[in-house]
């Protein structure tokens, strides 16, 4: 029996103006829309948010705009992991000072093949430099992008050193066996799957829910699945979220998500991406339209 409260956090896309500067108005509008549709919170400024194409000042300004826009800081887990320790410390301290629920933290990811000891040192130095006992860190495992895995021995050592400061983990590996292993080894932390299609397994094993890119488009459907777990409606809800997810997995993910959000808001500006990403090609329009139509089934 899972005694955790399952939650959906949306890694909100980052809208850009014509000159590719941060569009704070659209950022807040989209964030409020996904929360109104049923998401429990936000996980902005991670991979889906193009965080590594943003400056530190942009990330901090975006977080402040969300809070100033009426979104409770206790509903936000911003991404703060950077290659430079000083940058990660600055972003994490900023999020902690604002009262955010926690910080979703990539390991330093430029150097590959580093030992667990080096990754431990990086996390330890950030935690010690921030120096707040109420800081909560959510480890971010996405080895196909970083080349730096968050291993079970590393999690074990961090927990032994820092206890409740290590609050959870987002597993974006796409491998359920890894997510399951983390949940079973460390039931005291909150483990989130990056695919909503894994929510039933996540919940049954003792996980905490989902942080999914496609929640930008289908928050109502994913929330409906969470609420339907264990009922006759679960199978139907799962088919809907799995179908939406499958469509996006066949497309360039971030441009496709932003294109679908643009259709939903009836505002083409949401489709803008920063280089090196490129906006979605017209030959993907049919798949985008199908994903939006499937998402509308849950929100209608």
Residue 135 known to bind ligand = no
Asked whether 247 and 239 are in contact (CB, 8 A), the reply is: no
DSSP H stretches of helix in 77-136:
85-97, 116-130
Residue 281 DSSP class = P
Element (H, E) at 103: strand 103-105
State the Cα–Cα distance between residues 260 and 253, nearest whole angstrom. 11
**Radius of gyration for the alpha carbons in the chain, expressed in angstroms and rounded:** 18
Asked whether 274 and 13 are in contact (CB, 8 A), the reply is: no
Does residue 117 register a pLDDT over 70?
yes
The structural domains of the chain, with segments of one domain joined by +, span 7-218
Asked whether 36 and 70 are in contact (CB, 8 A), the reply is: no
State the Cα–Cα distance between residues 132 and 258, nearest whole angstrom. 36
pLDDT band at 299 (very low <50, low <70, confident <90, very high): confident
Instruction: Cite the active site residues.
Output: 140, 170
Asked whether 124 and 157 are in contact (CB, 8 A), the reply is: no
Q: Please confirm whether the linkage preceding 181 is cis (ω < 30° from 0).
A: no
Asked whether 216 and 261 are in contact (CB, 8 A), the reply is: yes
Mean pLDDT on 197-222: 97
Q: Tell me: the pLDDT tens digits for 242-274?
A: 999 999 999 999 999 999 999 999 999 999 999
Provide CATH code, domain 7-218.
Answer: 3.20.20.70
Residue 48 known to bind ligand = yes
Give the bridge partners for 10, in sequence order: 42
Q: Tell me: the pLDDT tens digits for 149-208?
A: 999 999 999 999 999 999 999 999 999 999 999 999 999 999 999 999 999 999 999 999
């Amino acid at each position: 029996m899972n005694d955790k409260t399952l939650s959906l956090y949306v890694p909100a896309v980052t809208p850009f103006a014509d000159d590719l500067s941060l569009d704070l108005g659209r950022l807040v509008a989209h964030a409020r829309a996904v929360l109104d549709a049923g998401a429990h919170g936000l996980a902005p400024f991670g991979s889906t948010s193009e965080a590594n194409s943003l400056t530190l000042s942009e990330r901090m300004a975006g977080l402040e705009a969300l809070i100033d826009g009426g979104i409770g800081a206790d509903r936000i887990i911003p991404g703060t992991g950077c290659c430079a320790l000083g940058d990660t410390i600055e972003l994490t301290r900023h999020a902690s000072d604002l009262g955010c629920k926690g910080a979703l933290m990539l390991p330093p990811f430029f150097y590959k093949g580093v030992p667990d000891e080096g990754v431990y040192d990086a996390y330890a130095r950030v935690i010690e430099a921030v120096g707040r006992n109420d800081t909560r860190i959510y480890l971010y495992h996405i080895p196909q992008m970083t080349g730096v895995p968050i291993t079970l021995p590393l999690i074990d050592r961090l927990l032994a050193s820092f206890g409740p400061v290590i609050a959870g983990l987002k597993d974006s590996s796409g491998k359920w066996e890894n997510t399951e292993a983390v949940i079973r080894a460390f039931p005291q932390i909150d483990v989130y799957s990056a695919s909503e299609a894994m929510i039933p397994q996540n919940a049954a094993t003792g996980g905490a829910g989902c942080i999914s890119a496609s929640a930008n488009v289908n928050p109502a459907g994913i929330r409906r699945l969470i609420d339907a777990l264990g009922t006759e409606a679960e199978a139907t809800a799962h088919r809907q979220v799995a179908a939406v997810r499958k469509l996006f997995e066949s497309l360039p993910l971030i441009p496709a998500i932003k294109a679908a959000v643009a259709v939903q808001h009836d505002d083409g500006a949401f489709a803008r991406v920063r280089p090196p990403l490129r906006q979605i090609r017209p030959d993907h329009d049919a798949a985008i339209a199908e994903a939006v139509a499937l998402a509308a089934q849950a929100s209608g």
